[in-house]
Amino acid sequence: MMKANTTENQTDNIFSAISANQNKFKRGLYEKFPAFKCSSGTINKGYNCLANVIKANIDNGLRVLAIDGYHGVDWKLLKDNLKKNLEQIEIEWAFTSDCFADTAEIDKRAEPFLGGDDRVFGTHFPFGSEVFFDAKKIAELRISAAIARGRGPGKLLVILGIGSSFVEQYDQLWYMDMPKDIVQRKFRDGQLNNIGIDDKKSFEEFYKRSYFFEWPAQNRLKKKLLKELDYFIDGTNEDDPCVISGDDYQKILDEVSESPFRVRPWFLPGPWGGKYMQGHMGLDPDEPNIAWSYELIVPENGVQVTDGENKLEFSFDSLMFYSNNKILGKNADNQFKDAWPLRLDYLDTVNGGKLSVQVHPRPDYIRKEFGETYTQDETYYITNCKPGAKIYLGLTEDCDPEEFKKELYGSIENDKEIDLDKFLNSETANPHDLFLIPNGTVHCSAEDNLVLEISATPYIFTFKIYDYLRKDLQGNLRPINIERGFENIRFERRKEWVQKNAIPKPKLINEGAGWKEYSLYNKPFTFYNINRVEFYNDYLLETKDRPFAINLVEGERIELETEKGNKSSLAYLESMVIPAAAGKVKFKNKTGQRCKVVLVYVRPEIGRSEALNDPIE
């Protein structure tokens, strides 16, 4: 073991505890745009490359080209740029949007899944992208494609848009993807609306319709097409898109699914947001704050890969659709199928405000009300905080539920804040503390915490019961769900229960030369365990067919290397996926100081001898 610089007091480091009056935060090593270095596959860039593919195939049987993709792609921009580079070819263009059912019909089909006048919640749509279309119009386009395939060489029909593959009569199939955080950004920027809808909606309406109706439908089509593609196009840079052949795309997906990798995080300001991440991660200084860093949320993150020259991005869910068995391993795959179950994100309240008081639904409630298969059990890992910071968790011993509920409604009616400490238990927070928040437990972070939220993936099912009468950054009151919240609160979870059950102490479970591994969370509340390994030199992680989400919570940087020789690195605060198929992964610490890595993994007993969620209903 290296002896030098291994003291417990590391005040000169970027991961030192935050001082009480600190308002500037040193830029760390955090990489905002991580890219996996692939060993095979060629990534090309630009519309001229797309045009060259067409030119090379026009005399070899290419008569009909279908370019399918995700809602958010600017199909007109794609057409205009292809047309500019293909002036010598006679091309007929068709957009699948011309085959959409009318708005009233799409609304009618969507309505049963949008939760009525509920501002936030609905239920998942169970079928595919056919729901957006007028079947007769698609049939007519299919006939046009069949006729085009019977023409002589030199003429081309290009069909663009969601569901282009429905025509079936095509010679090549391309797909243009776009991660959902980019879709949301385009809506916020006024570039996008819901599918087949002309009138502008609020972001809440857009997101609810997308989450419960449009995205499930599109994902089923994307999943079906992944292994049929001739070319894959990255839609995140529509001015100069990157493209890769379908064969090379599959090779890259295979390689990533067997190697540690980071996803591209994304960040948002909020009404309670803090300043730590803005400084440490080098985020937009013009934003009022940064509240959230979405480190690992499969339905919305993208994954970037590079061949050393160009970068290509695809949605994380595409990787799960293609290689869920490698990513999850046999047992977790049997339970979760193509849904990555572990979520990591940051909540920054350093020099900010309190989160809303909230609770997550019980297992049966989330299944019956929203069609989710498991609920949002979560934890707060205190990565850093100021002295005196605290976490609200559970109720006070003398909290009267009826009085609490009455006060919450009275706050809204009388525009008056409540005395939170009268009803909610609070606990002092220190760096590296872990607070367990199983479903039904009232909670929120107070000011001056950098929280690594470790949770099950269902991520929007939060019932806010109190939000201090404050408005969001657009000047609107955020949705409050007091009734839903009180239907799910476990009122027996008060101060004594919290201190006994929800603030675990690290338990040493394994050690070796220069390293120790501690169990932080191993309870029947949920399906994942949390360990922490602390090491000065090297540590060998064996996945044993289990999927891991990891985060470097102390230390500047570590290197990782797999048995197959894949190398990557992880800097302070960065998160990473280690697929079950990665096998043995060596963590290398060359800093001379102690590093700490949080290891989150799915327990192998889940779905077999243990229940998926807390059995207490």
- Domains of the chain by residue range: 47-240, 507-602
166 and 130 in contact (C-beta within 8 Å)? yes
The whole-chain average pLDDT of the chain stands at: 94
According to CATH, the topology of domain 507-602 is Jelly Rolls (2.60.120)
pLDDT tens-place string over residues 445-468: 999 999 999 999 887 899 999 999
For residue 8, pLDDT over 80 is answered with no
* Arithmetic mean of pLDDT, 573-581: 98
pLDDT above 70 as % of the chain: 97
Q: pLDDT band for position 198 (50/70/90)?
A: confident
According to CATH, the topology of domain 47-240 is Rossmann fold (3.40.50)
For residue 416, pLDDT over 90 is answered with yes
Give the pTM: 0.94
Whole-angstrom Cα distance, residue 157 to residue 92?
5
Query: What pLDDT was estimated at residue 57?
Result: 94
Q: pLDDT band for position 615 (50/70/90)?
A: low
pLDDT tens-place string over residues 257-274: 999 999 999 999 999 999
- Which class for 21: exposed (0-12), middle (13-18), buried (19 or more C-beta within 10 A)? exposed
Q: In what order do the strands lie in the sheet with 443-445?
A: 424-428, 390-395, 443-445, 357-359, 463-466
* Arithmetic mean of pLDDT, 149-167: 94
Structure tokens at 332: 């977790």
For residue 11, pLDDT over 50 is answered with no
295 and 573 in contact (C-beta within 8 Å)? no
501 and 375 in contact (C-beta within 8 Å)? no
Helix (H, G, I), strand (E, B) or coil at 310: coil
Could you list the beta-strand ranges (E) of 235-355.
242-245, 266-268, 292-296, 302-306, 311-315, 342-348
For residue 2, pLDDT over 50 is answered with no
pLDDT tens-place string over residues 461-488: 999 999 999 999 989 989 999 999 999 9
For residue 380, pLDDT over 90 is answered with yes
Whole-angstrom Cα distance, residue 413 to residue 411?
6
527 and 374 in contact (C-beta within 8 Å)? yes
